[in-house]
Amino acid sequence: MPDSIFSNPRLARVYDPLDPDRSDLDMDLRYIEEFKATTVLDVGCGTGTLISKLTALGIVTLGVDPAAASIDVAREKVDSDLAEFVVGTTIDVSADPSLHGHFDLVTMTANVAQVFLNDDDWMATLQASKSCLRPGGHLIFEARRPADRGWERWTKEQTHRLVELDGEGPVEEWIQVTKIDGELVSFESPTIFHRDGERIDSTSTLRFRDKDALEQSLSAAGFIDIEVRDLSYAPGRGWLILARG
C-alpha cells in the first residue's frame, strides 16, 4: 500500500509545490541522452515530473506508480500523446506481453528503489524491469549510502518548513525518524494545512542496502555491465547504479 504522502489526494496535489526543486532529475536526463533512449519506463513515477521533461524532448514514456492520487496529478500535468500512465507496479507492466522488450531504459528516481523492503519484492521488481527492456537496454536507479547515515538528518529541527501555497495558504511539514531496524529506517512526515487545520500523517520505511547487496541482486536478476557511481547532485551521500539488460 502506498504511503499517504503519495496516495492521499490532498497531499498528492501539494507534493510538487512543497518540493519544487527537482534538479536531481537533470542527472537522469543526461544518462537518457547518453544512452539515446527513445522509450522510457519510469517506475514510481509519482506526479510525473520526469515524464513531463521527457515528453518535451520527444521521448515516449510510460509511468507506473501504485498511488492513484499521484497518477491523477501526473495525468493532469502531462498533456502529451507520448505519455501513458498505469496505476500499479512494474510487475503489472511486465504482465503485458506487448511491453516485453519494449523500452530502451527503465528508471527509478529518488528513493523509489529503497521502498522495496524484502528481497523477494526487490528481485521481482528487477526481473520485471529486465523483461521490459529491449536487449542491451539499461536500468538506472539511485540508492542512498548507508555509511552516510542520512536518516540522522531527518529531524523536525532540520526539516521543518512552513510554506505559503496558492489555494491552500500556509502548509507546514517535517520529517522525523521513528524506528531504525538494521537496514530499515522508518519515519513519519506530518503535513498540516493551516487554512482549515487538517493534519495528515504519513509513515514510510526505506531499506538502505549496501553496495555489494545491490550488485549481487542485479547479477542474480540477469543484469550485466553493472556500474556504481557517485550521485552527482549529492556527492558522498548516494549512488547511481547503472546496469544493462
Report residue 111's pLDDT band, with 50, 70 and 90 as the boundaries.
very high
pLDDT of 5 above 90: no
The Cβ of residue 49 has, within 10 Å, a number of other Cβ atoms equal to: 22
Q: Examine the domain organization and report whether 35 and 102 are in the same domain.
A: yes
Q: Does residue 109 contact residue 143 with C-beta atoms inside 8 Å?
A: no
If you average pLDDT over residues 48-74, what whole number do you get?
A: 98
Q: Examine the domain organization and report whether 119 and 176 are in the same domain.
A: no
Q: Examine the domain organization and report whether 172 and 227 are in the same domain.
A: no
Report residue 182's pLDDT band, with 50, 70 and 90 as the boundaries.
very high
Residues 6+ apart with CB under 8 A from 37: 59, 103, 104, 105, 137, 138
Q: What is the pLDDT of residue 178?
A: 98
pLDDT of 180 above 80: yes
Report residue 2's pLDDT band, with 50, 70 and 90 as the boundaries.
confident
CA dist 106 and 220 (Å) reads 18
Q: What percent of the chain has pLDDT over 70?
A: 100
Q: What is the pLDDT of residue 221?
A: 98
How many CA atoms does the CB half-sphere of 123 hold within 13 Å? 10
CA dist 70 and 6 (Å) reads 6
Residues 6+ apart with CB under 8 A from 121: none
CA dist 94 and 100 (Å) reads 6
Domain with residue 81: its CATH number is 3.40.50.150
Q: Examine the domain organization and report whether 42 and 117 are in the same domain.
A: yes
- Render pLDDT for 63-91 as a digit per residue (tens, 0 to 9): 999 999 999 999 999 999 999 999 999 99
pLDDT of 3 above 90: no
Q: Examine the domain organization and report whether 117 and 238 are in the same domain.
A: yes
- Render pLDDT for 159-173 as a digit per residue (tens, 0 to 9): 999 999 999 999 999
Q: Examine the domain organization and report whether 69 and 156 are in the same domain.
A: no
Q: Examine the domain organization and report whether 91 and 102 are in the same domain.
A: yes
**How many structural domains does the chain have?**
2
Burial 152-175 (b: 16+ CB within 10 A, else e): eebeeeeeeeeeeeeebeebebbb
If you average pLDDT over residues 29-39, what whole number do you get?
A: 96
Cα 41 versus chain centre, distance = 12
Q: What is the pLDDT of residue 69?
A: 97
Q: Does residue 86 contact residue 112 with C-beta atoms inside 8 Å?
A: no
Q: Examine the domain organization and report whether 197 and 80 are in the same domain.
A: no
Q: Examine the domain organization and report whether 191 and 227 are in the same domain.
A: no
Residues 6+ apart with CB under 8 A from 211: 228, 239
Q: Examine the domain organization and report whether 177 and 128 are in the same domain.
A: no
Q: Examine the domain organization and report whether 9 and 97 are in the same domain.
A: yes
For 9, the domain range is: 4-145+208-244
If you average pLDDT over residues 14-18, what whole number do you get?
A: 95
Q: What is the pLDDT of residue 4?
A: 78
Q: Examine the domain organization and report whether 172 and 218 are in the same domain.
A: no
pLDDT of 1 above 80: no
